[in-house]
């Protein structure tokens, strides 16, 4: 099962990073306000970045590394994809 690390650009210009095995379902959850507490009132969203990982462990490590980046670092990552 492939895991996807993703970054959303929220309507308030903030960035949200998460992981999932079903990106389409997860984006729908975010859009309905059921995806995450952080994104509940920050829609609509734009999918800005995705990166596949082979295991949940790898996805969690990558998510953590991205979350530790500065906003500028995340924006550079988005631009390179």
Q: Rg of the chain over CA atoms, in angstroms?
A: 12
Taking the model in full, what pTM does it have? Answer: 0.93
% of the chain residues with pLDDT over 90 = 88
Domain chopping of the chain, boundaries:
3-80
DSSP 74: H
Whether 5 shows a pLDDT value over 90: the answer reads yes
The Cα 6–Cα 29 span in angstroms is 14
Token pair of 45 as six digits? 């969203």
3-80 architecture in CATH? 3-Layer(aba) Sandwich (3.40)
Q: What is the reported pLDDT for 44?
A: 93
Cβ–Cβ < 8 Å for 43, 10: yes
Name the percent of the chain in helix, strand, coil, to the closest 5. Answer: 40, 25, 35
Whether 60 shows a pLDDT value over 90: the answer reads yes
């Amino acid at each position: 099962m492939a895991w996807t690390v993703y970054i959303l650009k929220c309507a308030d210009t903030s960035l949200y990073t998460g992981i999932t095995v079903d990106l389409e379902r997860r984006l729908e959850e975010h859009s309905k306000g059921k995806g995450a507490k952080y994104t509940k009132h920050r829609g609509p969203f734009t999918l800005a970045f995705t990166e596949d990982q082979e295991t949940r462990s790898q996805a969690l490590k990558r998510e953590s590394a991205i979350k530790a980046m500065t906003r500028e670092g995340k924006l550079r990552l988005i631009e390179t994809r």
